[in-house]
Structure formats: C-alpha cells, structure tokens
Amino acid sequence: MMPSRRQFLRTLSALPLLPALPSLAQASPQRLRLAPFAQQIAPEGYPATDLWGVNGAMPGETLRRRQGGRLTVEVDNRLPQATSLHWHGIRIDNAMDGVPGVTQDPIAPGTQFTYDFALPDAGTYWYHSHAQSVEQVERGLQGLLIVEEPETPDVDQDIPLMIDDLRVTKDAAIDGNFTAPHDLSHAGRLGNLLLCNGAMTYAQPVKQGERLRLRLINSANARIFVLGLQGLTGWIMAYDGMPLAEPEALPDRLTLAPAQRIDLFVDVTAEAGSEAFLLQFEQDGGYELARFPVAAGSTTTRPAPQPLPPNPDFPIALTDAPTTDLRMEGGAMAWLAQARFKGQTLSGQDLAQLGQFWAFNGSAGRPPEPLLTARLGETHRIRMQNDTLWPHAMHLHGMHFAEVLADGTLGPLRDTLMMREGEAREIAFQAHNPGDWLLHCHMLSHHAAGMGTWIRVTA
Ligand code: C2O
Ligand code: CU
C-alpha cells in the first residue's frame, strides 16, 4: 500500500539522521532581526549603502532546514515601517503566508511576530517583505529559504546565487523615489547596480570536474534576467523549487523573471587556472554576475544525474475543471480608460493620480471578491490574457500550478509564470491548500500600481 502523505511526512521527520532536528526541540525560535544597517555594495571608492537587513545582512540570513521539519522564526521589527515576511513558493499554512491585510496584521515597528510552519517541500524558496514591497524588498528585506532533500544529492558544492538589481544614486544611496509614475506604468523599477549574493563581484572557488548545484534566484523588483554559463555544462533540475521528473539539458540562455528560481546541476568544464562564469545578457553584450576560479581537479566526465526526489504530489485533473478568465490591462501605451478601485469606478486619469495604472478584469488593486473560489481538491484553470504592452511575472501564493500547453499537456510545476506582452496562456492547479491566496504580478511596482487579485480555497 502507498503511504499517505501524512505518514510520509511523519516518517521523514522521524528519521534519526537529520542534523537539523535536534535544534528544533529547543525552546526559543531563531530570531530574525529586521533593522537598518550599511553594506558596501557599490564599487570601491563609493560609500557603503544604507540598507534594511535581516540579521545584519542583505540578502538576509540564509535559512536551511530539512524537508519534513518546521521553520520557526521570530521576526523582530526594528525598522521605521510596519512589515511582514512572505515565504515565497513554499506550500504553507495560510496564516503564515505573511500578507498584511489578508493573512495577518502588519508587524508594527518595535514588535515581534513568530512564523511557525511545516516544510512539506524540498527545494529553493525565498522570503521577502510583503509590506510596501517596492520599497522594502529594494532596501534589502529578502533572503533564502532552502529546504534540503532527505538525502543530500550527489554534488560537490551547493551554491545559491541570489541575483538582484538595485537603483542607487550617485552617492550609492538607495534611490528613495519608490512611486515614480514612470516606473509604476512602464517596466517597473529597474536598477543600475547588478548584484549576486549582495555583491557586485561575487566569486566562489571550484575545482575542475566538480559537480555544482547552482540555485538561481531572481530577487529583483522588476528586471528579467537572461542568463548564460561559461565553463559549466549540465542540467536543469527544478523550477521554482519543484523537481523535474527528468533533468533537462541546459540551454544556452535561461530566462529568469522576478521571483523565479531554477536549480541546476553543472559540471566544471573550464580548465584549471581559468575561470567559469555566470553571465547576464543584454542587447549590448554580457555582464559577469558571478565568477568561479577553477583549481586543478579531475577531468573524467560524470554520468547524468538522477532526478531530485519528487515533492508531495497534488495531481491536476483537467477534465471538467472550471476555467476562469484573467484579462491583464493597462500600463504605458495601453492606458486604462477606467477601472474599479476600492469600490468606485474611476477614469484612467483619476487612477493615475492615485498611482494605479493596471487592472485585472477591470479592477485595479485587490478587489473585494476573489477571482475564483475553489473547493479543496478541485482542479481550476485560469486563462490569462496579457492585453498590455509589457511582460509580467504572475505569481500564485500557496500552491504551485502547471501551464496547460497548446497540445493539452501540462508543463512543469511553477509558482511564477512570465507572460510576454500580448500573450495568452493558461495555468491549472489543484486547490489543495485552504485559505485566501494572492495572485499578482511580481514586478513589484506593477503589483503596487494595480496588478493584484486573490483566490479562495474553501476547506
Ligand atoms: Cu514573492 Cu506575493 O510574493
Ligand atoms: Cu507586471
């Protein structure tokens, strides 16, 4: 007989060889102190940048836990603003989702809030502020949540690469204009400083022939990264935390929209004494995001990796699944004529005065009614039509979805899907996690300027 999911999780958490577990029994949870601090992110010769950090770092402290365990952290807000932390991509209890006004009250300055939830999925996840996020994520409130597989996969190094771009002034201060109408209505807030793991010159020594697990995370406000590797070849193992049933050969270019993650296994093929690179491509050429100085090692090629072990499965059953339409409208050059906002119908001009430039199904901002209501266990389809002239990174909280491809099959599980300008694409998911869950554009300026809705899953 197949073990049920609950048994599966209990078995996992009962395994005696989990080093993370003994500390879970300790009385006091790990503390995450959210506070201003300064870090050198601009090149030499510029001053350090005032940021908002998690335990004095940006990205904030990396949280690593074992699948089947729990995450318990006490957030201590030492910032001048109310805040919250959202645990992006992991399928957690709704009350812990970290959305002020939906799942919790904002954490006021000088107060604490404890997040405590089970970790059903292994993979690469991240956390970030979900309060005034255009400002708070840009100032630095972001970090990694890595949930380890029950058995560590066969790699020599596990290297998270959190990629960001920040907009700084000529004095290397975070540009304080977070509500510029041009950013809200065009591509979002794009930066002028590209960072990997909080540094412009991130470097990690490797050996020839080593197999690396690279965890790529785009934590930028709005930039879509087009990435490539040099001196490294390998496989895509997982998207947005969820393992692929079969690893895919690495293509020349990888597109990583805001909030998306890709896990790679790559072998170091660069010669000893040279360097391998993670590059970002723009129209005018490539930029180095990370470098890997290569020491002598082995030159034997290794067999292709086994897939990562699957996470608990919530099968998507397309037959008879109800379909909901989501029309994405507005933004520069396709300006809204009008939309509903906070219970009123307003003209595009009036909305622009309020910093609202985008709408879903004729509503700007989070509407009072959900886009759809699903009963637990039902599969739902959402047909998204991007009638704007801009790309958007559509993120569903609480559950992963799969794209329904043109031939009717399902693509890989994801929590964030990039929609190019003019595109129509359909997603489907099993409503397996009860609660109210946001569905929004993860270009944070777009979300702030109207691109948000929500769904309800009833128990
Ligand atoms: Cu990563 Cu609603 O967010
Ligand atoms: Cu968008």
Ligand 2 mean position, distance from CA 413 (Å)? 20
Within-domain flag for 350 = yes
pLDDT in tens, 314-351: 999 999 999 999 999 999 999 999 999 999 999 999 99
pLDDT in tens, 70-93: 999 999 999 999 999 999 999 999
Which numbered ligand comes closest to the C-alpha of 394? Answer: 2
Which numbered ligand comes closest to the C-alpha of 329? Answer: 2
Find the residues whose C-beta lies inside 6 A of ligand 1. Answer: 86, 88, 128, 130, 259, 395, 397, 438, 440, 442
Pairing of strands 379-386, 424-430: antiparallel
Three-class SS of the chain: CCCCHHHHHHHHHHCCCCCCHHHHCCCCCEEEEEEEEEECCCCCCCCCEEEEEECCCCCEEEEEEECCCEEEEEEEECCCCCECEEEECCCCCHHHCCCECCCECCECCCCEEEEEEECCCCEEEEEEECCCHHHHHHHCCEEEEEEECCCCCCCCEEEEEEEEEECECCCCCECCCCCCHHHHHCCCCCCCEEEECCECCEECCEECCCEEEEEEEECCCCCCEEEEEECEEEEEEEECCEEEEEEEECCCCEEECCCCEEEEEEEECCCCCCEEEEEEEECCEEEEEEEEEEECCCCCCCCCCCCCCCCCCCCCCCCCCCEEEEEEEECCCCCCCEEEECCEEEEHHHHHHCCCCEEECCECCCCCCCCEEEECCCEEEEEEEECCCCCEEEEECCCCEEEECCCCCEEEEECEEEECCCCEEEEEEECCCCEEEEEEECCHHHHHCCCEEEEEEEC
Question: Domain ends where: 150, 169, 188?
Answer: 150
Q: Note the pLDDT of residue 283.
A: 82
Within-domain flag for 216 = no
Q: Does residue 406 register a pLDDT over 90?
A: yes
Within-domain flag for 100 = yes
Cα-Cα-Cα-Cα dihedral of 171, 174, 179, 183, to 10°? Answer: 80
Ligand 1 mean position, distance from CA 153 (Å)? 28
Q: Does residue 251 register a pLDDT over 90?
A: yes
Ligand 1 mean position, distance from CA 130 (Å)? 7
Which of the residue ranges 16-25, 139-148, 412-421 would you say has the lowest mean pLDDT?
16-25
* Range(s) of the domain holding residue 445: 323-458
Give the predicted TM-score (pTM) of the model: 0.93
Q: Note the pLDDT of residue 28.
A: 77
Within-domain flag for 228 = no
What pairs with residue 70 in β-bridges? 118
Question: Domain ends where: 150, 171, 205?
Answer: 150
Which of the residue ranges 10-19, 206-215, 220-229 would you say has the lowest mean pLDDT?
10-19
Which position has the higher pLDDT, 10 or 377? 377
Number of domains making up the chain: 2
Q: Does residue 290 register a pLDDT over 50?
A: yes
What atom in ligand 1 is closest to the CA of residue 440? 2
Q: Note the pLDDT of residue 63.
A: 98
What atom in ligand 1 is closest to the CA of residue 126? 1
Copy the structure tokens of residue 387.
């009638």
Confidence of residue 27 (pLDDT cuts 50, 70, 90): low
What atom in ligand 1 is closest to the CA of residue 438? 2
Confidence of residue 282 (pLDDT cuts 50, 70, 90): confident
Nearest CA to ligand 1 atom 3: 88
Are 373 and 437 contacting, i.e. CB atoms less than 8 angstroms apart?
A: no
Ligand 1 mean position, distance from CA 397 (Å)? 7
Q: Does residue 153 register a pLDDT over 60?
A: yes
Are 436 and 405 contacting, i.e. CB atoms less than 8 angstroms apart?
A: no
Q: Does residue 14 register a pLDDT over 50?
A: no
Within-domain flag for 63 = yes
Ligand 2 mean position, distance from CA 406 (Å)? 23
Which numbered ligand comes closest to the C-alpha of 145? Answer: 1
Mean predicted confidence (pLDDT) in 29-48: 96
Of 332, 364, 386, 379, residue with least CA distance to 453:
364
Ligand 1 mean position, distance from CA 452 (Å)? 11
Within-domain flag for 284 = no
Only one residue has tokens 């506070």, namely: 35
Which position has the higher pLDDT, 287 or 94? 94
Within-domain flag for 366 = yes
Provide the CATH number for the domain around residue 372. Answer: 2.60.40.420
Question: Domain ends where: 116, 131, 150?
Answer: 150
Q: Note the pLDDT of residue 25.
A: 47
Residue type, 312: P
Mean predicted confidence (pLDDT) in 228-246: 98
* CA 385 from centroid of its chain's CA atoms: 22
Confidence of residue 21 (pLDDT cuts 50, 70, 90): very low
Contacts of 216 (CB under 8 A, 6+ apart): 161, 163, 227, 254, 256, 261, 262, 263, 264, 278
Within-domain flag for 141 = yes
Q: Note the pLDDT of residue 451.
A: 98
Q: Give the chain's mean pLDDT.
A: 94
At 280, phi and psi to the nearest 5? -120, 130
